[in-house]
Amino acid sequence: MADAHAKHHDYHLVNPSPWPFTGAVGALVMAIGGVAWMQYLKGNEFHLFGLNIASPWLFFVGLAIVLYTMFAWWSDTIKEAHEGFHTRVVSLHLRYGMIMFIASEVMFFVAWFWAFFDASLYPNEAVQAARTQFTGGHWPPVGIEVLNPWHLPLYNTIILLLSGTTVTWAHHALLHNDRKGLVWGLVITVCLGALFSCVQAYEYIHAPFGFKDSIYGATFFMATGFHGFHVLIGTIFLLVCLLRAVAGDFTPKQHFGFEAAAWYWHFVDVVWLFLFACIYVWASAGAVIAEH
């Protein structure tokens, strides 16, 4: 009878899990809460089932549900790996999943680059008369002072390139079972990621243009802001890997969690290079550079 229930395949059939349901509920609550929060900021009411829920609290309730679901679901995945369920076939499928996720993120940024180039390359299109009014037929728009690309943006570029080097060092240290090199590589990478976020926050605070001043500000802050959000997520991702590395979770043969974080971080690096080259350097050519 025992042989009848033995597993004769390389696939892992997971046990019933509540996390897809709780994640969906949390996402729904976050979406409704986001709308309620925006209505609250506008001073409006937002009624649902006869109740005025215009406040920021519902959004944070949904966020808490999503964060707990993420923690619990990934904890189950790590437990399955330690129990030996992540065979070569399962690991391959995990890699395919991460590759598809990064591909979807690439298309997400393609949308922001598309909006930027549409506004910058065709400021005189007749069908965009409203936009032309704000650009004056030029790019950057008339009256807009841009950031010096060879100051803080270049500094942040160097930071991210260095962080890509240190995370690669950490990966090679792990492959050679160098626990000290793994930990220190991750420590430096996390610190560089945090430094990048701090520099970008300083840059935003002192930017000579605002989000709603022009189409230039809107496209600039949407593209660079979402990248900054991805840097923050990637930094947290690597911080979790650091904690797991200190706990001894990773081995030279089984460390997909770290690989996924490294892939994501390299993706963030590459996107920044395109942002720096296009939005900071190319778009500032011939423009008035802000003095401060």
Domain residue ranges in the chain: 1-85, 88-289
Find the DSSP H helices in the chain. 19-41, 57-82, 88-121, 129-135, 152-175, 179-205, 215-247, 256-275
Task: Please check whether residue 135 is in contact with residue 141, taking contact to mean a CB–CB distance below 8 angstroms.
Answer: yes
Identify the weakest region by mean pLDDT among 139-143, 174-178, 203-207, 265-269: 139-143
pLDDT of residue 53: 87
pTM (two decimals): 0.86
Asked whether the CA dihedral 235, 238, 240, 243 is positive or negative, the reply is: negative
pLDDT (average), residues 55-76: 95
**Of 163, 165, 144, nearest in space to 221 by CA:** 144
Please, what is the Cα angle at 47 between 42 and 49, to 5 degrees? Answer: 165
**Helices 57-82 and 19-41, interaxial angle, to 10°?**
160
The yes-or-no verdict on residue 86 having pLDDT over 70 is: yes
Q: DSSP for 29-48? A: HHHHHHHHHHHHHTT---EE
CATH class of 1-85: mainly alpha
**Of 238, 151, 224, nearest in space to 192 by CA:** 238
pLDDT of residue 25: 97
Give the three-class secondary structure for 149: coil
pLDDT digit string, tens, across residues 210-260 = 887 788 888 999 999 999 999 999 999 999 999 999 998 899 988 999 999
CATH topology of domain 88-289: Four Helix Bundle (Hemerythrin (Met), subunit A) (1.20.120)
pLDDT of residue 126: 38
Task: Please check whether residue 123 is in contact with residue 135, taking contact to mean a CB–CB distance below 8 angstroms.
Answer: yes
What is the rounded distance in angstroms from the CA atom of residue 168 to the CA atom of residue 174? 10
